[in-house]
Amino acid sequence: MITAGAGVAGSSEASAGVRAHHHHARTARHHHHHHEAMVERRPARRPTIVLQPPPSSTSTRGRIALDFAIRQIGKPYVYGGAGPDSYDCSGLTQRAWRAAGVRIPRTTWEQARFGAPVSLDRIQPGDLVIFYADASHVGLYAGDGKVVVAPHQGTYVTVQLMKWMPVHTVRRPG
């Protein structure tokens, strides 16, 4: 659970600042609108905002897909590989989502057009991250700007930073 604004919304400095701001706003309104002078206006107490993952089946399935992909770390990349002993990038993502009960297309190009598009500020674990303008590479979002990928021949399924590859699109299967 992440708490946004902890220690600020309830602090005496923040409350004093809010009261002072609202006092000046009321005073300004009083000078411009005399009929509002009789109405007592107090700022509403602002609750602490608690952010939690949305209770959606997609995010649950995304977590299952990601967990599957994480268990494949260390297995070799083989072009055309779709498990269980080796993978290419789209074979890994396809098998991961199959483990979550969702059938997605086999190729990266098809996966780039499958499911709902997602903006980078709404990305969730398990989302498909398609890289490069020609949609030639895909991985599963793992959080903190990282993806689980099967990079290329001679490598193994691993975790990489997204920032080293240009993101073409993000898709949410299901």
Report the CATH superfamily, name and number, of domain 57-172.
Answer: endopeptidase domain like (from Nostoc punctiforme) (3.90.1720.10)
For 115-158, the pLDDT digits (tens) are 999 999 999 999 999 999 999 999 999 999 999 999 999 999 99
- Quote the pLDDT of residue 73: 98
Residues with Cβ within 8 Å of residue 156, at least 6 apart in sequence: 73, 74, 75, 76, 77, 150
Every domain of the chain and the residues it spans: 2-51, 57-172
Q: Supply the pTM of this predicted model.
A: 0.67
